[in-house]
Amino acid sequence: MGFSEDPYLQPLLLGLFLNMYLVTVLGNLFIILAVTSDSHLHTPMYFFLCSLSLADMGFISTTVPKMIVDIITHSTVISYAGCLTQMFILVLFACMDDFLLTVMAYDRFVAICHPLHYQVIMNPHRCSILVSLCFVASLLDSLVHSLVVLQTTCFKNLEISNFFCDPSQLLNLNCSDTFSSDIVTYLAGIIYGFLPMSGILFSYSKIVSSILSVPTPGGRYKAFSTCGSHLTVVCLFYGTGIGVYLSSDFSGSAGKSALASLVYTVVTPMLNPFIYSLRNREIRKAMRRLLRNAFLYLCHAFVLQLGKDNKPKH
């Protein structure tokens, strides 16, 4: 159904969503380039941050490009296969965000509470395994959602009150048997919502108790500054996610549900690069070095090209 059928609002919506998409992709791509180009940032924390940026780019690329095409073509129709594909990829990257935030909380817990064993515990091999497990668990959730939706018998000429194929709405389309969809919804909420949130809360309870035991205020500030960006992203991610489900349960308005989903699927991935770049001194330094090196490279290439153009021809 999209957001609005008003023709006067279509150019405004097109410009808004296109700019938000470009800002999100370029911001996350800039973080990945800054981390990979700076050897000082080749640590587990920034490895997980790059993985989160990749997941955010995939997350927003699942919904916004289709929405931009819908606005340009004045059609909000999506095929059966396209809807299942969009739901599959959306659930995959949403769960990746969820698990990566949990792994990043565990990384900060080890760094602050067990600093002497940090290099041994969070070695590159274990970090790769943790990211792989996040991907496998997310893939399993996407497969389960797809298998349940494939059993739906009333999937023709439907109207989805959102700007994408919302998994929560697709699971409720099974006319013959709602038991399996209810089981999937509750299990997914427990495994992919409650357990990661419990892990994050446990990690930060240990982090706070460890920070409070630091005798000097400067030491406490330094310890808290290492996890301040991650804590902000966690609050934003879970706050908007919970808001989506609450709005869908207590509000019968399709516009309000789509607006809440917009915050969760578009605004949150867009703000993550700003949160990490503004609150993280190392990221800011790496970005400045990346911009300086890129500027020097362009100047050098321009001078070489200028010299070739002014070289006398015999």
**143/275 Cα distance (integer angstroms):** 32
- What is the pLDDT, as a whole number, of residue 303? 76
Given a contact cutoff of 8 angstroms between Cβ atoms, the answer to whether 68 and 18 are in contact is yes
Residue 218 belongs to a domain: yes
The least confident of 24-33, 193-202, 302-311 is 302-311
In percent, the amount of the chain with pLDDT more than 90 equals: 22
Residue labelled with tokens 């997941």: 55
Q: Grade residue 51 by pLDDT with cuts at 50, 70 and 90.
A: very high
- What is the pLDDT, as a whole number, of residue 144? 86
Q: Say what angle helices 44-61 and 268-279 make with each other, to 10 degrees.
A: 150
Given a contact cutoff of 8 angstroms between Cβ atoms, the answer to whether 210 and 112 are in contact is yes
* Domain that residue 203 falls in: 10-153+161-286
- What is the pLDDT, as a whole number, of residue 74? 84
The more confidently predicted of residues 134 and 184 is 134
Residue 1 belongs to a domain: no
Q: Grade residue 244 by pLDDT with cuts at 50, 70 and 90.
A: low
Residue 291 belongs to a domain: no
Residue 312 belongs to a domain: no
Please give the tally of structural domains in the chain.
1
**Three-state SS letters, the chain:** CCCCCCCCCHHHHHHHHHHHHHHHHHHHHHHHHHHHHCHHHCCHHHHHHHHHHHHHHHHHHCCHHHHHHHHHHCCCCCCHHHHHHHHHHHHHHHHHHHHHHHHHHHHHHHHHHCHHHHHHHCCHHHHHHHHHHHHHHHHHHHHHHHHHHHCCCCCCCCCCCCCCCCHHHHHHHCCCCCHHHHHHHHHHHHHHHHHHHHHHHHHHHHHHHHHHCCCCHHHHHHHHHHHHHHHHHHHHHHHHHHHHHHHHHHCCCHHHHHHHHHHHHHHHHHHHHHHHHHHCHHHHHHHHHHHHHHHHHHHHHHHHHHHHHHCCCC
> How confident is the model over 195-215, as a mean pLDDT?
83
- What is the pLDDT, as a whole number, of residue 21? 93
Q: Is residue 176's pLDDT more than 60?
A: no
**69/250 Cα distance (integer angstroms):** 31
Mean pLDDT of the chain: 81
Q: Grade residue 174 by pLDDT with cuts at 50, 70 and 90.
A: low
What count of residues does the chain have?
314
- CATH number of the domain within which 274 lies: 1.20.1070.10
Q: Grade residue 221 by pLDDT with cuts at 50, 70 and 90.
A: low
Q: Is residue 209's pLDDT more than 80?
A: yes
- What is the pLDDT, as a whole number, of residue 85? 92
The least confident of 50-59, 140-149, 257-266 is 257-266
pLDDT digits (tens, 9 = 90+) for 261-307: 787 788 888 888 888 776 677 777 877 888 888 878 788 777 777 77
Residue 292 belongs to a domain: no
Q: Grade residue 223 by pLDDT with cuts at 50, 70 and 90.
A: low
- What is the pLDDT, as a whole number, of residue 218? 64
Residue 308 belongs to a domain: no
> How confident is the model over 126-136, as a mean pLDDT?
94
